[in-house]
Chain A
Amino acid sequence: MNTARKHIFAAFAVLASAALAAEAHAQAQASQTTSSTATIFQPIQLAKNSDLSFGNIVRPISGNGTVTIDPANGARSASGPLAIINTGPNATPGRASYTVTGEGGQNFSITVPASFNMTRQGSADTIQVTLSSTAGAGTLSGVLGTTGTSTFGVGGTIPVTNGTASGAYAGTFVVTVAYN
């Protein structure tokens, strides 16, 4: 819509300057065929299909490690002396996944914060999550005049040490897509 407005303003400007040019030459009559164009995009929309979950883990007795969720497939992996467990509440790990809907064939950018904090329930303890996205930009399927879609995923990595307090951690981050 912004693009459309720009085009329309441009068209008016061309008409105005054409009229002025005609007066300057003091001709009896002059005409110009002027084209006006407008490209109208449907709004871009972002739907979240799933949130980011690291599941449940057991912190190391000593030392430190990391837990990673793959942005492409949601697979969980761990390094260091910590243990992944598949028990307890919210035990299923997974990536955040999104579907973008908008004008077919158009490019869009994906903006994901580099990191965000998860806070331990009932305390001020935080764990910093480093985020990773499958892409920084994408192209909507289809062509101009049709509705296109595209999907992408966000994963992340967290450090866990023997000093990390046990508990349930949660936090939020905002993902943005925009036509470009």
Chain B
Amino acid sequence: MQIQSLAKRILPLAVVAAAVFASPALAQTSANQSTTGTIGIYQPIQLTRQTNLSFGTVMRPSSGTGNVVIDAQTGALTATGGITQVSNGNAASRATFTVTGDAGMNFNVQYPQTFNMTRQNGSETIPVTLNASVGSAQLVGTTGGVGTANFGIGGQVSISNTTLSGSYSGTFTVTVAYQ
């Protein structure tokens, strides 16, 4: 009997307690909001030059003007207008580059439209018109890992019968950037 009556007494108390705990939920003196924070972090993009651009060794035309073209895709040399490649001269090649960065990211290739090569021990210049195998590309690799891509840069020079013979060289800068 005593236990039962105690239980009866405790029961109403429990109801009161429940009512007190429930009331703050109804009476809102504070309010909160869950907020999300996010960031995407990418690996640095890096550019490595594998080979330089070389127009090899050519003989200027005996008359008029010709062109020497290095294909950006293959590196093949094409000479026109009476220019001939000297077979035992310097090898011709395109400039080639490897890009590494975050797999799946796209990047673009920036390079000057033209640059000058200057004759060694002289001041004469030959303008080079550049072109790239790609304007932009995607880094290939496992998602979340390192991705790679390769591209090439070729160019074109005009050489006339008055172009001074000699060794010409110059530099240009290639930049890749995530896009």
Contact = CB atoms under 8 A, between A and B. Distances in A.
Interface of A: 1-2, 41, 43-48, 51-61, 67, 83, 85, 87-91, 96, 98, 100, 116, 118, 122, 127, 129, 154, 156, 158, 160, 164-179
Given A85-B42, A166-B102, A54 B29 contact: no
Interface string B1-43: 0000000000000000000000110111111111111111111
A1 B37 contact: no
A1 B43 contact: no
B111 interface: no
Nearest to A154: B35
Given A44-B31, A154-B35, A90 B42 contact: no
B35 A166 contact: no
Given A58-B44, A60-B44, A168-B40, A176 B35 contact: no
29 contacts: A1-B26, A2-B23, A44-B31, A46-B31, A47-B33, A51-B35, A51-B37, A52-B36, A52-B38, A54-B37, A57-B40, A57-B42, A59-B43, A61-B44, A61-B46, A90-B40, A96-B35, A118-B39, A166-B43, A166-B144, A167-B144, A169-B41, A170-B36, A171-B37, A173-B37, A174-B35, A175-B33, A177-B31, A178-B29
Nearest to B31: A46
A155 B91 CA distance: 58
B33 A48 contact: yes
Interface of B: 23-24, 26-46, 102, 105-106, 144, 178-179
A46 B29 contact: no
B33 A156 contact: no
A147 B36 CA distance: 28
A43 B24 CA distance: 11
B37 A44 contact: no
B31 A171 contact: no
Contacts of B45: 58
A58 B32 CA distance: 33
A156 to B, nearest CB: 7
Question: Helix, strand, loop or mixed for chain A's interface?
Answer: strand
List the 8 closest pairs (A to B, CB-CB), nearest first.
Answer: A1-B27, A43-B28, A178-B30, A54-B39, A56-B40, A46-B31, A176-B32, A52-B37
B29 A179 contact: yes
Contact of B40 (A48, A52, A88): A88
B39 A46 contact: no
Nearest to A67: B39
A124 B53 CA distance: 46
Given A1-B26, A122-B144, A58 B42 contact: yes
Contacts of B32: 46, 174-177
B131 to A, nearest CB: 25
A118 B38 CA distance: 7
Given A48-B34, A54-B39, A178-B31, 5 more contacts: A51-B37, A55-B39, A58-B42, A171-B36, A178-B30
Nearest to B107: A87
Contacts of B42: 56-59, 85, 88, 166
A164 to B, nearest CB: 6
A177 B30 CA distance: 5
